[in-house]
Amino acid sequence: MTVERAANGRVEIAYETFGAPAGEPMLIVMGLGMQMLLWHPDFCTALADTGFSVARYDNRDIGLSTHLREAGAPSLLRILARPAAAARYRIDDMADDGIAVLDSLGWASAHVVGVSMGGMIAQTMAIRHPHRVRSLTSIMSTPSTRIGRPSMRAMAVLATPPVRNREAAGRRMVDLFRVIGSPRYPHDDAWLREVGLQAYDRSHDPAGVARQLAAINASADRRPGLSRLAIPTLVLHGEADPMVRPSGGRATAAAVPGARLVTYPGMGHDLPRALWDDMISEIREVTAAGRSRS
């Protein structure tokens, strides 16, 4: 699959597409420290098979997109204690990266789907650029770092020392989702390991993940902006999510007028294959409501 590039000032964003170019535009946004590879190709293809032209991308400071190494590596203590001082950019800037992908694709607007930090970015795209977003789907995310805070076990994952080699990166991806993933559903360990290996080959920049985390913590509460949206909105959340606990999803849905909230028992901070059909059905419903915004 060909990797294309979009430009937001000096930041370049690497992206890929699935489906026919004439399909209905959909941008999918990944979460903290996760490359676009974590959008399973089968999930992307399933979306494309329902008539969407799907674009996935690496956020800044991860994967093949620009890494802002000159900004340094903020410590976890500084990120938590003085986020405004630790951050060199905000979620607002990352949302503008997503808009740059739309521009590069020639899409005047698109349905936007984001998971975790990607949900925060998607929310911000809708707030800052409502005319560019046909519908919003926020998955396992929150409008504020004060809502749905991680469990202590999930927080410990953020503080784990970085891996030092390729094989360790593969093991780390498997181990990570054993902590934050869905307790009711099986994990595809072979695929997770392969993604970890591929991600290490594409880039391994722990400081970039720290800079993303600083951006999350330094960004403002999005509820005032969400309350002004007139965009069809869907919120999906796992009832067993330890990384962004369910109150984050409930707060997101409560903030957006008319938003639909769907929660899944036994789902953690991942996208279990067994739930894909239902999730895609829900996404198709909200995108149908947003089709008139094209």
pLDDT (0 to 100) of residue 292: 61
62 pLDDT more than 80: yes
pLDDT (0 to 100) of residue 274: 98
Average pLDDT, the chain: 96
Mean pLDDT of 207-223: 97
| Separation between Cα atoms, residue 135 and residue 164, nearest integer Å | 40
What b-and-e string marks burial along 144-182, b requiring 16 or more CB atoms within 10 Å of the CB? bbebbbbeeebeebbeeeebeeeeebbbbbbbbbebbbb
Q: Where do we find the tokens 């740059």?
A: 100
Q: For the domain 4-149+207-293, what is the CATH code?
A: 3.40.50.1820
| Separation between Cα atoms, residue 225 and residue 160, nearest integer Å | 34
Mean pLDDT of 260-271: 98
pLDDT (0 to 100) of residue 294: 53
Q: Is this prediction's pTM over 0.95?
A: yes
291 pLDDT more than 90: no
